[in-house]
Chain A
Amino acid sequence: MGVGSLSELACEARRRLLIMAAYDPGIHIGSSLSVLDILTALYGTGRVRFNAHNGLSTRNYLVLSKGHAVHAIYALASVFGYLNLDELRETGSLGSRLQNHPEDDTPFVDVSNSGSLGLGIGMAVGLALGLRLRGATGRVYLVTGDGELDEGVSWESFAVVASYGLSNVVTIVDLNNAQLDGPSDEVLKKGDLAGRFKAMGFFVQTVDGHDVDKLVEALEAAEKAGAPSVIIARTVRGKGVQGLEGSIKQRIPRDEALELAGRLSCR
């Protein structure tokens, strides 16, 4: 699938995110929109798959540590034909398998310990150690927010990646500079993120996190690096939806969601 068509699919996924937001006030729309192109690059190129059930394998894993953005995965899954609109409308309802944070029985996510921040990072490290022990060639694609890098466990876990030379972990930081109490660099200084990772021995790339073409190139380079690697993807909260882009809005009312969906032009 060409990168051009991937961008179109991402746009359609944005529309479906807005439709979900119209039915489920629990959706973190801003965060889901910022990470959507990153997830499009991963799922759209077949690096990770829309597995109906999570669990043990030697395949590639996706760990979405910023689990509150799981709706971006649901939206993509529906665009790729793995979910229908009926089910999307049930997102977040009692009894729906599309929970507002990934749970154990949530489809299309390989592991589900996120929700509480920073936990996906350690989970990814354990999966990568497991793949290595099995001699499996699978990789772990770890998507983390920038806010959760406040958590000590994040850096504890990255130190293990560095110490054990886990080149089978590719970390992508969704750097949207937003967390609950404001801009990430104001709530708590993250410092020179690229420098912090470089100092630990990571192969570091910084890219536009909304340029799917560039993201795919960076993923290819990371996979060839033969070292722990991180892609710092600069993103914008609410990306791709006029009225939400760059705003702090995370949850929007039904009327606004439907209106925005109607106005979205994907061509």
Chain B
Amino acid sequence: MSLVEELTPREAAGKALADLGDLRNDVVVLVADTGETTRARFFAERHPDRFFNVGIAEQAMAAIAAGLASAGFMPYALTFAAFMARAWEIIRNSIARLNLPVRLVGTHAGFSDAYDGPSHQALEDLALFRVLPNFTVIAPADSCETYRAVMASAEVKGPVYIRVGRDFHVPTTCDMYKVFEVGKGYVALDGHDVALLTTGQMLSFALDAAHILKEKGISAAVLHFPTVKPLDLTLLSRYARTVKAIVTVEEHVVHGGFGSAVAEALINLGPKPMAIMGVKGFGRTAKSPADLYQFFGLTPDNIAARAEELISLSR
């Protein structure tokens, strides 16, 4: 995987698709004038017959992907995550309702398209896809996990949404585990005072926060949930019973996303003092995603501070 580690997340997705195309001849790829920007080009170069560019037409892309799935193929449709939402009603009626094996890959998710500002920064996509029946929702942390998630998605029966960043990533999962299982959460760091729960690219930030907490004598577990839906309730309940508080961190609005999914689960498992860290409102134009993490209070220091606060309140 060392090669994948050096790729950006979108490149890792493109490479996975190309490799998947070698393994399975039912895989077809659609883009909405986004063959280059999503790096679906990697697939097109190896499998030109199975690559379709429908132009700047996300709705047609979704509807045609449904048709290809009905014809027995396994379509992967890629565009910017923010623009995938434009086809939401079609995705609902043509893909989710029929439970078709269409895989939607939303790239440039979260803050990863810092330059283009709020219009291009998808911070609502987890919520949008989470509410659709039959959908599996995956938000990988880095390029290694993106590659594994795309490869693993081929085994999922129903529709899948995979959220992929543009270029920013901190390689974290490459040596963390060997096999990516859809629906499984991972213990990135064990601990017993507080659990920091992450999805997507916030994993490395949470690990840094745990080290900050450790220096203060607080033992923080870091639990990584690349699959937001279905959520790994086994892992969640194991830690929810023992820790004093839970902090979720996501590059997404605080409404309806990963933190909401955890909170919904905890209602049944046994509520805990909890903080949902994310974004309130739209993104901003900036020179780099790092500036945006700072601006929106999603840094290791911020995460550690919230955890400390919750622990002190729960005493």
Chain A CB within 8 A of B158 CB: no
Q: Which of A105-127 contact B (CB under 8 A)?
A: 110-113, 115-116, 118-119, 121-127
CB distance from A57 to the nearest CB of B (A): 9
Complex interface: stretch among B14-22, B59-67, B184-192, B296-304 = B59-67
Known: A126-B63, A157-B63. A119 touches B93 (CB 8 A): yes
A248 to B72, CA, bound (A): 40
Contact B60 A131 (CB under 8 A): no
A103 to B98, CA, bound (A): 8
Q: Which residue of A lies closest to B71 (CB)?
A: A130
A113 to B62, CA, bound (A): 12
A261 to B77, CA, bound (A): 48
CB distance from A115 to the nearest CB of B (A): 6
A217 to B244, CA, bound (A): 76
Chain A CB within 8 A of B52 CB: yes
Q: Name the contact of A130 in the complex, choosing from B57, B72, B99 (C-beta under 8 A).
A: B72
Chain B CB within 8 A of A133 CB: yes
13 chain-A/chain-B pairs, Cβ below 8 angstroms: A103-B97, A104-B98, A111-B98, A116-B89, A119-B93, A123-B66, A123-B67, A128-B67, A129-B68, A153-B57, A156-B57, A157-B63, A160-B55
Q: Name the contact of B93 in the complex, choosing from A115, A121, A129 (C-beta under 8 A).
A: A115
Contact B97 A127 (CB under 8 A): no
Q: Name the contact of A122 in the complex, choosing from B55, B63, B71 (C-beta under 8 A).
A: B63
Q: Which residues of A contact B62 (CB under 8 A)?
A: 122
Known: A113-B93, A115-B93. A124 touches B52 (CB 8 A): no
Query: Interface on chain B toward A: helix, strand, loop, or mixed SS?
Result: helix
Chain B CB within 8 A of A56 CB: yes
Contact B70 A129 (CB under 8 A): no
Q: Which residues of A contact B50 (CB under 8 A)?
A: 133
Q: Which residues of B contact A56 (CB under 8 A)?
A: 70-72
Contact A112 B64 (CB under 8 A): no
Q: Which residue of A lies closest to B98 (CB)?
A: A104
Known: A113-B94, A133-B49. A125 touches B60 (CB 8 A): yes
Q: Which of B58-88 contact A (CB under 8 A)?
A: 59-60, 62-73, 75
Known: A56-B72, A156-B57, A160-B60. A129 touches B89 (CB 8 A): no
The number of residue pairs between A and B whose CB atoms lie closer than 8 Å in the complex comes to 111
Q: Which residue of B lies closest to A140 (CB)?
A: B67
CB distance from A33 to the nearest CB of B (A): 25
A129 to B59, CA, bound (A): 17
Q: Which residues of A contact B54 (CB under 8 A)?
A: 156, 159-160
Q: Which residue of A lies closest to B50 (CB)?
A: A133
CB distance from B233 to the nearest CB of A (A): 28
Q: Which residues of A contact B55 (CB under 8 A)?
A: 156, 159-160, 163
CB distance from B211 to the nearest CB of A (A): 49
A-B complex: 4 closest residue pairs judged by Cβ atoms:
A126-B67, A122-B63, A130-B71, A156-B60
Q: Which residue of A lies closest to B26 (CB)?
A: A133
Chain B CB within 8 A of A80 CB: no
Contact A121 B73 (CB under 8 A): no
Contact B67 A156 (CB under 8 A): no
A164 to B59, CA, bound (A): 17
Q: Which residues of A contact B94 (CB under 8 A)?
A: 113, 119, 122-123
A111 to B93, CA, bound (A): 12
CB distance from B262 to the nearest CB of A (A): 32
Contact B60 A129 (CB under 8 A): no
Chain A CB within 8 A of B12 CB: no
Interface string of A159-177 (1 = CB under 8 A from B): 1100110000000000000
CB distance from B314 to the nearest CB of A (A): 48
Q: A128-B67, A130-B72 are in contact. List 20 more A-B contacts (CB 8 A).
A: A104-B97, A104-B98, A113-B63, A113-B97, A115-B93, A118-B63, A119-B93, A119-B94, A122-B66, A123-B64, A126-B65, A126-B75, A127-B68, A129-B71, A130-B70, A153-B60, A156-B55, A156-B59, A159-B55, A160-B64
Chain A CB within 8 A of B261 CB: no
Known: A125-B67, A126-B65, A129-B64. A116 touches B93 (CB 8 A): yes
Interface string of B97-125 (1 = CB under 8 A from A): 11100000000000000000000000000
Chain A CB within 8 A of B28 CB: yes
Contact B63 A129 (CB under 8 A): no
